[in-house]
């Protein structure tokens, strides 16, 4: 009988609540999901209001570009699709996706930190290729989305979109 009680106590103890004391400001807000971010991108056209690449601000290169994030034709796949980039009279296409992934793991404290990411894959024109790649979401409002790229813990690029 003592063995059963001991086993039950171990099971109950090991299933305890998750410690969230190690969460910090870079964790996505618990009330935001990748679908919320996707829906925001889909809701409007966007313009770049700030872009820095390797510490050099290059916002002026993108002042005439308009971005339209179109959801995938499959309703269950709201977190990806085609992106239309309009520049003057030209229209360029690419792909976009939004996903969540682990950004850090501390085995000593057994804590995991997650982040939301936007991946952009464009093929033309040359200026726009600089914004290709994986961007971590830093701030999301109904009118603004701020993204960053990091390398070895240092921010190397920032990309801010605002509703057009």
**CATH of residue 89:** 2.40.128
3 is a domain residue: no
The angle subtended at Cα 13 by Cα 12 and Cα 15, nearest 5°, is 65
What are the helix (H) ranges across the chain?
Answer: 2-14, 34-42
38 is a domain residue: yes
Q: Please state whether the peptide bond connecting residue 78 to the residue before it is cis, i.e. omega within 30 degrees of 0.
A: no
Span 39-60, pLDDT tens digits: 888 888 999 999 999 989 999 9
7 is a domain residue: no
Q: Give the separation between CA 84 and CA 95, rounded to whole angstroms.
A: 9
Q: Give the separation between CA 3 and CA 41, rounded to whole angstroms.
A: 56
pLDDT of residue 7: 37
Could you say which residues of the chain have pLDDT below 70?
A: 1-35, 73-78
DSSP 141: -
Number of independent structural domains in the chain? 1
Q: Give the separation between CA 148 and CA 133, rounded to whole angstroms.
A: 11
Q: Which domain holds residue 97?
A: 23-163
123 is a domain residue: yes
pLDDT of residue 73: 65
28 is a domain residue: yes
What does the chain come to in residues? Answer: 164
Q: Which two tokens stand for residue 103?
A: 């950004």
pLDDT of residue 74: 61
Other Cβ atoms less than 10 A from the Cβ of 89: the count is: 5
pLDDT of residue 76: 58
């Amino acid at each position: 009988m003592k063995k059963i009680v001991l086993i039950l106590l171990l099971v109950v103890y090991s299933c305890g609540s998750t410690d969230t004391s190690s969460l910090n400001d870079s964790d996505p807000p618990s009330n935001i999901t990748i679908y919320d971010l996707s829906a925001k991108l889909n809701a409007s056209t966007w313009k770049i209001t700030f872009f820095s690449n390797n510490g050099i601000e290059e916002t002026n290169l993108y002042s005439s570009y308009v971005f339209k994030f179109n959801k995938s034709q499959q309703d269950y796949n709201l977190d990806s699709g085609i992106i239309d980039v309009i520049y003057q009279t030209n229209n360029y296409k690419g792909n976009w996706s939004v996903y969540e992934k682990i950004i850090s793991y501390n085995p000593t404290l057994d804590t995991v930190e997650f982040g939301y990411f936007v991946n952009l894959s464009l093929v033309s024109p040359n200026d726009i290729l600089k914004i290709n790649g994986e961007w971590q979401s830093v701030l999301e409002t109904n009118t603004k989305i701020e993204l960053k790229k990091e390398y070895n813990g240092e921010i190397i690029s920032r990309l801010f979109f605002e509703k057009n």
